[in-house]
C-alpha cells in the first residue's frame, strides 16, 4: 500500500504522455498515424485526451494525500510529483497549441511554460548549493487553477468533439470566461515564480 502514491505519480507521467500524443495526432502532428485518421477519429482522440487529462489531474491530488495518509512520503515521490505536474501542464499546453493557433492561449501558455522551466532551473541550482525551495500554499493553489483552466481550454478547443451547443449566446460567454481563467492562472503562476526567484536570490547571496 505504501507504494501506491508513487504508482499514482508514475501513472500520471504515462497518462500525460498519452494525452499529448492523442492531441498531437488529432492535430495532424504524428507522422503516418495522423494521416490514417478521419474527422470522427480525430474528435474521439480529442475527447480521450481530455478525459486522460482529468484522470491525471485527479491523481495529482490523491498521490500526495495518500502519501501523507499512509505515512509513505518518500524522496522518490518528492522528486516525481513536481515532475509529473510539469509534464502534465506543459504537455497539455503544447497539445492545445498544436490544435491550432489561438492568440488568447499562446501568450498565457508561453508565460506558464517559461515560469515552470525557470523555477525548475532555480531548484536545480539551489539544490546544488544546499538551498531548498519548498512548495508554497499559493503554488499549490496555482497548480489547481492551472489544471482547471487548461482542462476548460481543452473543452473549448474540442467544442465540436463534445457536441456542445453552437449557439453564439453560449459559445461567446464560455469563450470569454475560459480564456479569462487561463489568464488568471498565468498571473498567479508568474506571482509564484517571482516569489521563488526572490527566495532563491536571498538564499544564494
Whether the predicted pLDDT of 191 surpasses 80: yes
In the predicted model, what is the mean pLDDT of residues 163-173? 95
Measured from the Cβ of residue 112, the count of other Cβ atoms closer than 10 Å reads 24
- Check residue 134 and give its pLDDT: 77
* Strand, helix or coil for residue 24: helix
Confidence of residue 77 (pLDDT cuts 50, 70, 90): low
Cα–Cα distance, 80 to 138 (Å, whole number): 20
Q: Vertex 137, ends 131 and 140: CA angle to 5°?
A: 95
Q: pLDDT: is 70 or 30 the higher one?
A: 30
Confidence of residue 161 (pLDDT cuts 50, 70, 90): very high
**Residues 61-83, buried b or exposed e (16+ Cβ, 10 A)?**
eebbebbeeeebeeeebeebbbe
Cα–Cα distance, 195 to 7 (Å, whole number): 31
Task: Give the dihedral sign, CA 124/196/191/150.
Answer: positive
Phi, psi for residue 188 in degrees, rounded to 5: -65, -35
Whether the predicted pLDDT of 74 surpasses 90: no
DSSP state of 37: -
- Check residue 45 and give its pLDDT: 97
Residue 164 burial by CB count (10 A; 0-12/13-18/19+): exposed, middle or buried? Answer: middle
pLDDT digits (tens, 9 = 90+) for 100-141: 878 899 999 999 999 999 988 888 888 777 777 777 889 889
pTM: 0.91
Q: What percent of the chain has pLDDT over 70?
A: 95
| Nearest by Cα to 56 from 9, 120, 5 | 9
> Cβ(196)–Cβ(133) under 8 Å?
yes
- Check residue 62 and give its pLDDT: 80
Computed over every residue of the chain, the mean pLDDT equals: 89
- Check residue 80 and give its pLDDT: 77
Whether the predicted pLDDT of 69 surpasses 90: no
Amino acid at each position: 500500500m505504501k507504494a501506491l502514491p508513487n504508482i499514482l505519480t508514475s501513472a500520471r507521467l504515462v497518462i500525460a504522455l498519452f494525452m499529448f500524443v492523442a492531441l498531437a495526432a488529432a492535430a495532424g502532428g504524428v507522422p503516418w498515424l495522423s494521416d490514417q485518421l478521419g474527422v470522427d477519429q480525430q474528435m474521439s482522440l480529442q475527447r480521450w485526451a481530455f478525459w486522460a487529462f482529468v484522470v491525471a489531474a485527479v491523481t495529482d491530488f490523491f498521490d500526495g494525500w495518500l502519501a501523507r495518509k499512509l505515512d509513505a512520503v518518500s524522496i522518490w515521490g518528492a522528486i516525481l510529483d513536481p515532475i509529473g505536474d510539469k509534464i502534465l501542464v506543459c504537455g497539455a499546453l503544447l497539445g492545445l497549441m498544436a490544435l491550432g493557433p489561438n492568440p488568447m492561449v499562446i501568450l498565457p501558455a508561453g508565460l506558464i511554460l517559461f515560469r515552470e522551466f525557470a523555477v525548475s532551473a532555480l531548484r536545480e541550482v539551489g539544490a546544488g548549493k544546499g538551498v531548498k525551495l519548498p512548495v508554497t500554499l499559493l503554488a499549490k493553489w496555482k497548480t489547481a487553477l492551472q489544471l482547471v483552466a487548461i482542462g476548460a481550454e481543452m473543452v473549448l478547443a474540442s467544442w465540436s468533439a463534445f457536441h456542445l451547443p453552437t449557439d453564439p449566446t453560449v459559445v461567446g460567454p464560455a469563450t470569454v470566461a475560459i480564456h479569462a481563467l487561463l489568464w488568471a492562472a498565468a498571473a498567479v503562476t508568474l506571482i509564484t515564480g517571482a516569489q521563488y526567484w526572490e527566495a532563491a536570490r536571498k538564499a544564494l547571496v
